[in-house]
Amino acid sequence: MATIEVAGLRVPAWRGGFGRLWSAAVLSGFGDALRTAALPLLAVRLTDQPLLVASVTACGYLPWTVFGLLGGAIADRVDQRRAMWTVDASRGLLVAAFAVAVALGHASIGLLIVLAFALTTLQTLFDNAATALLPALVDRDALGSANARLMTGQRVAGGLLGGPVVPLLLVGGAAVPFAADALTFLVAAALVASLRTPVPEREPRPAGSTLRRETAEGLRTLVRDRALRALCAATALCNVGMGALVATLVVLVTGWLDAGDGAYAAAMTAYTTGSLAGGALGGRLVERVGRMRAVLVAGIVQTGALVATGAVRSLTVLVAALTVFGFMGMVWNVNTTTLMQERSPAAMLGRVSSAFRTLAVAGAPLGALLGGAVATAWGGNTPALLAAAFFTLSVTALIPVRRPDVPVVASEDGATAVHGIR
In this predicted structure, what is the pLDDT of residue 64? 77
At CA 357, angle to CA 1 and CA 277, rounded to 5? 65
Q: Are 408 and 221 in contact (CB under 8 A)?
A: no
Nearest to 357 by CA among 18, 66, 24, 27: 66
**Does 6 score more than 80 pLDDT?**
no
10-195, CATH topology level: Growth Hormone; Chain: A; (1.20.1250)
In this predicted structure, what is the pLDDT of residue 419? 35
What average pLDDT does the segment 49-70 reach? Answer: 72
**What is 27-48 written as a DSSP string?**
HHHHHHHHHHHHHHHHHHHH--
Q: What type of residue is 325?
A: F
Q: How confident is the model at residue 196 (pLDDT cuts 50, 70, 90)?
A: confident
**Which CATH number fits the domain 215-418, given the four candidates 1.10.3210.10, 3.60.40.10, 1.20.1250.20, 3.40.50.720?**
1.20.1250.20
Q: Helix or strand or coil: residue 64?
A: helix
Task: Give CA–CA dist 189/85, Å, rounded.
Answer: 4
In this predicted structure, what is the pLDDT of residue 86? 94
Q: Helix or strand or coil: residue 5?
A: strand
In this predicted structure, what is the pLDDT of residue 410? 46
Q: Helix or strand or coil: residue 414?
A: coil
42 to each of 2, 35, 38, 52, 101, how far by Cα in Å? 45, 10, 6, 12, 12
Nearest to 297 by CA among 275, 339, 330, 273: 330
What average pLDDT does the segment 219-227 reach? Answer: 91
* Higher pLDDT pick, 67 / 387: 387
What average pLDDT does the segment 355-375 reach? Answer: 84
Tens digit of each residue's pLDDT (9 = 90 or more) over 284-314 = 899 899 999 999 999 999 999 999 999 999 9
Q: What percent of the chain has pLDDT over 90?
A: 32
Residue 220: which residues within 8 A CB-CB, separation 6 or more? Answer: 411
* Higher pLDDT pick, 36 / 327: 327
Task: Give CA–CA dist 221/229, Å, rounded.
Answer: 9
Tens digit of each residue's pLDDT (9 = 90 or more) over 17-40 = 888 888 988 888 888 888 877 877
108 to each of 95, 175, 288, how far by Cα in Å? 14, 13, 53
Task: Give CA–CA dist 67/217, Å, rounded.
Answer: 16
Q: Helix or strand or coil: residue 12?
A: strand
310 to each of 51, 190, 242, 268, 325, how far by Cα in Å? 28, 46, 13, 16, 13
What average pLDDT does the segment 391-405 reach? Answer: 86
User: Please, which residues bridge with residue 173 across strands?
Assistant: none
Q: How confident is the model at residue 10 (pLDDT cuts 50, 70, 90)?
A: low
From-to residues of CATH 1.20.1250.20 in the chain: 10-195, 215-418
Q: How confident is the model at residue 50 (pLDDT cuts 50, 70, 90)?
A: low
What average pLDDT does the segment 391-406 reach? Answer: 85
What average pLDDT does the segment 11-22 reach? Answer: 76
What average pLDDT does the segment 265-270 reach? Answer: 83
Q: How confident is the model at residue 202 (pLDDT cuts 50, 70, 90)?
A: low
Range list of β-strands (E), 267-411: 407-409
